[in-house]
Structure formats: C-alpha cells, structure tokens
Structure 1
C-alpha cells in the first residue's frame, strides 16, 4: 500500500465554506485544440467546491482509503520540523500546488528514499528540483491545461486593473470615503491602441492573445517555438526574434514563460531599462523570471508605470517582502489558477494520474514532466536541465 502526502493551502480564515456563491459551474469537457479534460474513473466531490485547501483534500480521501492507501494532508511545509519534512521521508507520492508549493529541493529528495511520484495539482513543476528527480528516478507529473484559461483570464483582469488604475479608484470610494475623480484618473488610460506583448505563446500565452484581440490592441509575442503563419495571421500578432526586441516594443508585457535557467532573473535592471518609460508588466508565470528588487526600483523611478501578478518567491512571501508595499502594484496571492472552476479540473486530473500510477497504467504524455530518468511529455517541451542535454 502507498503513502500519499498532500500539501495544500490552509482553509479560509473564517472556516471551510458551508455554502457557495453559485450552485453550479459550467461543464467543460475539452480544451482549445481538442485535448480532453481529465477523465478519472470517478470523482468524490461536487465541481465548484473548495478542493484546494486542507479540508477539501482534492476530493481524494475516500478513493485512496477505500483502496487501503494512507493519505496525509497538511499545509505545514516550512522548516526541518514541518509536517512535510517529517512525512516525506517514507512517502511514496507527494502532491502539492503551485499556489502553496511543497519545494522538493535536492536535500528533501535525497531524504525521501521511497518517493516515486511527485504530482503538481495545477501547472508548473519548477518547485521540484528536476535534475534531482531525474537522478532519483522520480516521475513528475502535472495537470496540463487544467487552469490555463483561468490564468489567462486573471492576466486580462490585471492588465486592465493597471492601465485603468482600477485599484486606487476603488480605494477612494471603498476605504477612504471619497469621490476623488481627478485622483482616480490621473494614472488611468485606455488599453485600446496600445502595443501589448506576450512572452511565451504556449497554452496560456495563446489564450491571452485571443482574449486581448477584441480590445483593438497591437499584439506582439516572443517564443522560441514560433506560431504557425496561419495562427499569426488569425491573431494579427507580430513575432519578435528575442525578448529584448519584444520588451522594447510594447506598452504592456504579460509573462507566460516557464521558469528554467534561461529565464531566471531575465527581467533585470538592464532589460527593464530597455522598455518604454511608463510600461506595465504583468507576471502570472513565476516570480523568479523577474529580478525582485529591479521591479521595485523601476516602479520608484517611473520606468515602469505598474506591475501586477500573482506569483511571488518564496510562496507564501514574508511579511516584509517589498512587493507588498511598492507603489503602483496590483498584486494578488497566487490565485490565478486556483479558481473553484479550475480546482474541479486539477483535482480530477490528480485522481486520474493516481489511478494510472496505482494500477500500473501509463500516465498521459501531456501530464508528464519527468519519467524514466529524463524529461518527458510536456516537460521535454517546456523545461531544460543539464542532465537531459548531456
């Protein structure tokens, strides 16, 4: 029998919800491009419930315990005395989310002598040290596409929030008791006609491009894997040969690239300095793609007019993290991909992967990041590691 360790974010401050704002959510059966949504044999939850917190347990307890397996659920993941560190030593499977990641460092992996499978309930497995997973024969999988549209919608919202100066305007009426129109519009512009760039044209990047096109903006992108001429014509999007060309050409830049050695700290003082004065950056990819303090300096100097996103490092960030207090920001916790709608999909996908793994069936290639000692499936397209290149 297997021991499954599930690391999830804490329940709401007011307690696990006894009821929800809506009675149902739309049923999505396929993603753009035709990939089907997760297809487990069954689910033990109602779509639209809060599944991503500790009490939600991703709807896995009955399924696993009925099969005789052990499920340990915790939100305690920091430090050598954390539940994560204590329970990981003899766990066969560890599951966590990008929003509350169980960082599987080389040290943790070396101590987890029974670990065979690491599942990301969502998209983005950079919290797992992939070279160590490869070296130890650990399979790494994630629920590809499960929350891509969710993230794209969040990015659209944050682009508009920055450009239209929404949060300061809301603050005037909601918390300051004012009606300060001039203050509210002193940094507000129309998105229409702006040059908007997307770094990374994978599932999320393409979804964002499609959602921005009706705003009558000029669309740009960079990705080492260029879109087909047909898609470029359909979207009216201009490809750039490198990141600097893209960054220097746009008014708004939305980041949708994976984190790997080539993208870590990519947006430093020099690259941000090459952008137009008064540009905006939205980052719903990974925090380490930008230099934390370079962003703060650019906002303070006016080089950037605004910065938004929902990714931080580490997660959760400390109370004194400078992004909490920097000017002209529209940050949120890492919530873009964990809407109640997305949770239904990535919980079902997690169960699908577990069913396959426990029954000895192949895991869908689109879910695989590392398998059989090498990058595999989606991982081979999205990540680079030295061991895989040698």
Structure 2
C-alpha cells in the first residue's frame, strides 16, 4: 500500500460542486506536436468537472481506494503546523499543482523519508528543489503539454486586456455605474502593428505566436535554442540572441520561461529601464522571474504602461502584496492553466503517472523531470546540471544569476 498526499486548492466559497456553466467540454484528440494525450486505463470523472479543488480530488479517490492505497487531500499547505507538513513524513507520493503549490524545499524533502515520487498535476516543477530530489533519488514528474494551450489562450486575453484598457473600462459600467468613454479610451490602443516579444519559445510560446500572427503584429522571440527556419518564416519571427536585444525592440512582452537560477529576478530595474517607455508585460510563467518591487516602480513612473499575469510569489500572496494594488494591472489568481478543460487532461495524466508508479512500470519519458538521481525526459531539456536545476521551492537562491541573461530554458510548458 502507498500513501498519496495531494495538495489541492480550496473548494468554491459557495460549496462543491459548483453550478457548471456548460454541460460538456470539447474533446481534444491530440496535441499539435503529435504527443498523445494522457492514457490511463480509465478515469472516474466526467470531463468538465472541477477536479483541481479539494473535493474534486483529481478524480483519484475511487481508483486509489480500490487498490488499497491511502489518499490524503488537503489545501492546508504552509507552515510547520499545516496538514501537509504533518502528513509529509509518511507519504510515498506527493501531488501538487502550480496554482496552489505544496512547496518542497530541501528541508521538507529531508523530512519525507518515504517519499519516492513527486507529481505536478499540470506543468512546472519549480516548487520542488530538484537538486535535493536528485540527491535523494526521488522521481519528479509532470503532465507535459496538458495545459499549454490553456496558458497561451490566457496570455492572449491578458495582452488584449492591457492594450485595450479593458479592466478600467469595465469598471466604469460596474463599480462606477458610469459611461465615461473618454476615460476608458485614454489608455486604449490597437494591438495591430505593435512589436510583440515572447520569452522562451517552447510549446506555450510557439502556440501564443501562432495565435498572435493573425493580429498583424511584428513577432520577436528569444530562446537559447533557435526555432527551425521554416517556423520563423511562417510566422515572420525576429530572433534575438539576448533578452536585452529583444526588450529594447518590443512594445509587448509575454513571458514563458521556467524559473531557474538564471531567470530568477531577471527583470529588474535595469532591464525594465531598457524597454520602450509604455511597454506592457504579461507573465504567465513564474512571478520570481520579475523583481517584484521593480515592476511596481516601473508602473508608477510610466516606464511600463501595464502589467498582467496570474503568477505570484508566494502563492497565495499576502493580503498586502503590492501587485494587488499597483496601477495599471490586470492580475488574476493563478488560473491560466487550470481551466476545466485543462483539468480533465492533467487529472488523467496524473492517474497515468500513478498507474505506472504503482505497477513498477516506466513513467512516460516526456512526463519525467528527475529520475534515478539525474535530470530526465523533459527535465533534461528544461534545466541545467550545473547545480542550478531549480532555485528551490522558495523561489530564492543564493546563487541566482541575473547578469547572464542569455541562457534560458525553452521547455516551460
């Protein structure tokens, strides 16, 4: 018998299950690059249900109970007296979501003497100290591609929100009960013709650029691995060898890089100051890629015209986090990759990984981040092996690199 400890976000405030807006979700049969969708032996949920909250249990309860395994599900994840902290020492498997991460730093991993497998239900395992996991021989896996398109769609929405000044305009007819067109449009522009940059051209970044191309924008990107020439021609892409080069030549930036020692606090006062005055930034990657207070300063001075995203540090953020109240923001909770459609895929992928683990069968290579004491699968493409595999679950590292901005990982998706 194995003990599986799942950290999921709280249920809706009005109770579970919610009243669903639709009766079904479209069936997606394949991913654009040919990777097959998750393929567990079965699922015990209806696609379109809320699976990512505590009562949803990722649809795993029936499956694990039938196998005689113990499933503990909690949203109480922070602090020494949390349920997560108390249950962790005896857990064989920990499941967490990027949207409500169960932070696994080196100290927690040391306490978890039974821990053999960490699963990210979704994409992005930087809440786990990967170096510590490698030292302990713990396998880390995530459900690659399950919510990449979901995040790309969310990024497009936020870009348009900022450029068209949607949030303040909406507030004129709701909070203000008014109809002041001049105030609404005084910061509203067309996206057409703008220079739009994408940081990290992995699955999410490429999906975003494909969806932006019809808007008539000029697309730029930076990645440590250049895309094939035919893709650049198809989308009319301008490749930049460095982040600085791209930052100086764009009006809108969408960030899709992973959080590593190289990207930690990458966008500080200096780099933000090199962007065009009145630029916009959308960040659906990780909050700690930004210097938190530098973003606030840039919005107050007008160096940035707007900042939007759904990633924060920590998650959830404190009530007085300055991004809640800074001007010209379009922030949301971390929801870009946990739409009901995405949940159906990553819940199925989580079960697929568990089935492999419990049957002592190989876990699908594209799901692997760490295995056998080393980076593996997608992890080998996403992280370096120079002792900076991840900055640790806190998002901070004494060895964080902000000067060398040329070596970025492309596979945060």
TM range (shorter): over 0.9
Q: TM-score, normalised by structure 2?
A: 0.93
Residue in 2 that maps onto 1:123? 123
Kindly tell me: are residues 388 and 374 of structure 1, through their superposed partners in 2, closer, same or farther at Cα, counting changes over 3 Å? farther
Deviations 1:139-174 (A, max 9, x none): 000000000000000000000000000000000001
Shift of residue 384 of structure 1? 2.1
Say whether 1:165 aligns with 2:165.
yes
> After the TM superposition, which residues 321-332 of structure 1 pair with which residues of structure 2 at under 5 Å, given as runs?
321-332=321-332
Structure 2: distance between partners of 1:19 and 1:280: 35
Distance in 2 of aligned mates of 1:272 and 1:61: 47
In the TM superposition, 1:282-301 aligns within 5 A as: 282-301=282-301
Contact 1:374–1:388, Cα closer than 8 Å, also in 2 = no
Matched, 1:276 2:268: no
* 1:250 aligned residue: 250
Distance 1:225 1:311 in 2: 25
CA separation of 1:305/1:388 partners in 2, compared to 1, >3 Å: closer, same or farther? closer
Is 1:58 the counterpart of 2:58 in the alignment? yes
CA RMSD of aligned residues (A): 0.9
Cross-structure match for 2:113? 113
1:122, 1:7 → 2: CA distance? 13
* Residue in structure 1 matched with residue 395 of structure 2 by the alignment: none
Report if the CA contact (8 A) 1:375-1:388 is conserved: no
Q: Does residue 70 of structure 2 align to residue 73 of structure 1? A: no
1:217 match:
217
What number of residue pairs does the alignment pair up?
389
Does structure 1 conserve the Cα–Cα contact (< 8 Å) formed by 2:172 and 2:179? yes
Aligned partners of 1:29, 1:10: CA distance in 2, in Å? 30
Cα shift at 1:120: 0.2
Paired with 1:249 and 1:197, the residues of 2 have a C-alpha distance of 8
Q: CA deviation at 1:388?
A: 8.1
Please list every run of 5 or more consecutive structure 1 residues that lacks an aligned counterpart in the other structure.
none
How many Å apart are 1:17 and its aligned residue? 2.6
- What is the alpha-carbon distance in structure 2 between the residues aligned to residue 18 and residue 202 of structure 1? 34
Moved more, 335-344 or 18-27: 18-27
The 5 A counterparts of 1:130-169 are: 130-169=130-169
Higher relative contact order (CA 8 A, sep 6+): 2
Residue 136 of structure 1 deviates from its aligned partner by 0.5
Instruction: Give the unaligned 5+ runs of structure 2.
Output: 390-413
Residue by residue over 1:232-273, the C-alpha shift from the partner in whole angstroms, topping out at 9 and shown as x without a partner, is: 001111100000001111000000001101100000000000
Q: Which secondary structure state, in structure 1, belongs to the residue aligned with residue 220 of structure 2?
A: strand
- Alpha-carbon distance, 1:87 to partner: 0.3
* CA distance in structure 1 between the aligned counterparts of 2:359 and 2:173, rounded to whole angstroms: 57
CA contact (8 A) 2:261 2:388 kept: no
Q: What is the aligned partner in structure 2 of residue 315 from structure 1?
A: 315
For 1:27, the equivalent position in structure 2 comes to: 27
Q: Displacement of 1:19 after TM fit?
A: 3.2
CA distance in 2: counterparts of 1:210 and 1:15, whole angstroms: 38
**Contact 2:260–2:388 (8 Å) recurs in 1:** no
Partner of 2:372: 372
Tell me the distance in 1 between the aligned counterparts of 2:388 and 2:332: 35
Structure 1 match to 2:104: 104
- Distance in 1 between residues matched to 2:167 and 2:383, nearest whole Å: 35
In 2, distance between residues paired with 1:51 and 1:42? 15
Who is 1:197 aligned against? Answer: 197
Deviation at 1:29, TM superposition (A): 1.8
